[in-house]
Structure 1
Amino acid sequence: MDWLREFPQIEPRTLREMARTVDGHYRTFSRAWGDTIEAAFRPLMDLLLWLEALLIATPWWLVLAVLCLIVWLASKSRAVTAGTAAAFLLIGLFGLWADTMRTLAIILVCTLAAVALGLPTGVAMSRSATLRRVLNPVLDVMQTMPSFVYLIPIVMLLGIGIVPGIIVVVIYAMPPVIRLTDLGLRLVDKEVLEAADAFGTRPWRKLWEVELPLALPTIMAGVNQTIMMALAMVVVASLIGVRGLGQPVLQAITNQYFTQGLLNGLAIVAIAIVFDRTSQAAARRLQRHRGPAND
């Protein structure tokens, strides 16, 4: 192991000085811009709190009926609808209803924000090879960075609370919808695009009526992955104040409550399966009804 001692290394003192410099600049940035960034995300927090209060205050049977109706309209599948009803009935039976509604609220809000930011970014990447080359390394970092590392700069910037939790979940969950939107649009059949151009279709109309419907299955796969990553981040985000099923899981880890952790984990899995099956079925139906290739 002598070769390790011979490997050139930066002096520990120099490393500490570099770390202090970076930390100092980041603290200065957080003091200057922290309040502004938090204010920009406050509408999302207000939406989350309103949706959470609405889901908890509404009678369980009404929430269940609305969920099953949405799942049925999206999927037209009796099996998926029956599975949704059974899953949420079991969640209520085991006393996890309130935490599940909180988790459902944050997943809906964060997925909405991630898709609203990611879909236009993916469209822009599909149009520009230069932008794709610039953003791909950024997305690589976002996808491979350990989830706990996301908490460090966000907590230093905004402290502990709901807004930092929303930002962490959105950043962690956004890359799949960006990548798969870009991929889906680039895989659209060139002959279909040439036919649209031959008919004099305007670029925005071609995007809306031709490219997006054909790319929809791939885009919905990205939305699925975004939902799954948001659900995976719920437990980690509970460390900085995000309420829901993640907090009981964290308590179970801390206090070694196996049953509590298992039940809350299964509730998260049930939500993931419901979202996955519903969105996949909805994508297939939308492609059949809107896809120009099927005309």
Structure 2
Amino acid sequence: MADSGWLTEFPEMERSDLRAIRKTLDTAYRDFSRSYGEQIENFFDPLLSLLIGFEQLLLATPWWLVIAVICSISYLASRSLRLSLGVAIAFFAIGYFGMWEDTMQTMSIILVCTLLAIILGIPLGILMSRSDRLQKLLIPLLDVMQTMPAFVYLIPVVMLLGIGRIPGVLAVVIYAIPPVIRLTNLGIRLVDKSVLEAATAFGAGYLKRLTSVQLPLALPTIMAGINQTIMMALSMVVVASMIGVKGLGQPVLKSITNQYFTLGLLNGLAIVVLAIVFDRISQSYARRSQQHLQGGNHE
């Protein structure tokens, strides 16, 4: 009977300790956000200016010119008239159904987030490929970043920076950056050791081997990581709309709260269209780069 009493008291003691720990952590983070939130917000002002400027550029540019530029990029990446025609039809449909402005806002967010993920992710992937210790340290962190529910990212970011575009961008980047880091690391590690030994025998230093041998050979794998980063960023559009990020996510959120079936369906399809366009362009570019590289090696 005494044991039974001890078993009933212990969980209560444990819960009180957990409550004290949680309260301490909450208080510490709240104090940190109040003390340094403004300085951190000011640090991200250049990023906010870039995002707003890019968004205004897309909105101010005539729709036909935007479509022409996107089709030109798709053709240069794929050399496929069929893909370029499909891209043009898709964006015409988006404009016809009145989703042009929201789509341009979403494109600006996705492109800025992808650019930021590439700038941060590829160097980290390169460093991981050079150090097994760093790889062992970062892989659990990347696992947490990929598996943690997206809504959880919003809590500390919103507490620190409030509601707006920058918290949304940071949440999207944190959620979407792991694939480009992982696949950059993997692609460089998969480069044939004999090729590196040959480059070293010809007098190439580390930087020359990296830029002339490892990165070109790893490019298809790196492009696959960038592709997955874009897809994951697009999947965060609706979640990010909950903290004030404008774009296609807000009409979807509105349709959920007000049961507007058609509004949600059309804007959801617009997100799918963006995902397909980005996916086809990036995959076609990676495929052509690999074919060009193999042709060069064959010669």
Bin of the TM-score, shorter chain as denominator length: over 0.9
Q: What's 1:253 paired with?
A: 256
Give CA-to-partner distance per residue, 1:174-216, whole Å, 9 cap, x none: 0000000000000011111111111111111111111111101
The one-letter code sitting in structure 2 at the alignment partner of 1:173 is A
Match of 2:56 among 53, 57, 65: 53
Whether contact under 8 Å (1:68, 1:81) holds in the other structure is yes
Q: TM-score, normalised by structure 2?
A: 0.94
1:117 equivalenced with 2:116 (yes/no)? no
Give CA-to-partner distance per residue, 1:67-106, whole Å, 9 cap, x none: 1111111111112111111110100010000000000000
Q: What's 2:273 paired with?
A: 270
Q: TM-score, normalised by structure 1?
A: 0.95
Unaligned ranges ≥5, structure 2: none
User: What is the RMSD computed on CA atoms of the aligned residues?
Assistant: 1.7
Match of 1:284 among 276, 282, 287: 287
Q: What's 2:208 paired with?
A: 205
The Cα of 1:287 is off from its aligned counterpart by 2.5
The Cα of 1:15 is off from its aligned counterpart by 2.1
Q: What's 2:187 paired with?
A: 184
Q: Percent identity?
A: 63
Mapping 1:1-295, distance limit 5 Å: 9=11, 11-290=14-293, 293-295=297-299
The Cα of 1:290 is off from its aligned counterpart by 4.2
The one-letter code sitting in structure 2 at the alignment partner of 1:169 is V
Using the alignment, how far apart are the partners of 1:54 and 1:145 within structure 2?
Answer: 34
Comparing 285-294 with 232-241, greater Cα deviation is found at 285-294
Using the alignment, how far apart are the partners of 2:298 and 2:243 within structure 1?
Answer: 48
Whether contact under 8 Å (1:252, 1:261) holds in the other structure is yes
The Cα of 1:39 is off from its aligned counterpart by 2.2
Unaligned ranges ≥5, structure 1: none
How many equivalent pairs are there? 292
Using the alignment, how far apart are the partners of 2:180 and 2:222 within structure 1?
Answer: 6
Whether contact under 8 Å (1:288, 1:294) holds in the other structure is no
Structure having the higher Rg: 2
Using the alignment, how far apart are the partners of 2:138 and 2:36 within structure 1?
Answer: 24
The Cα of 1:58 is off from its aligned counterpart by 1.0
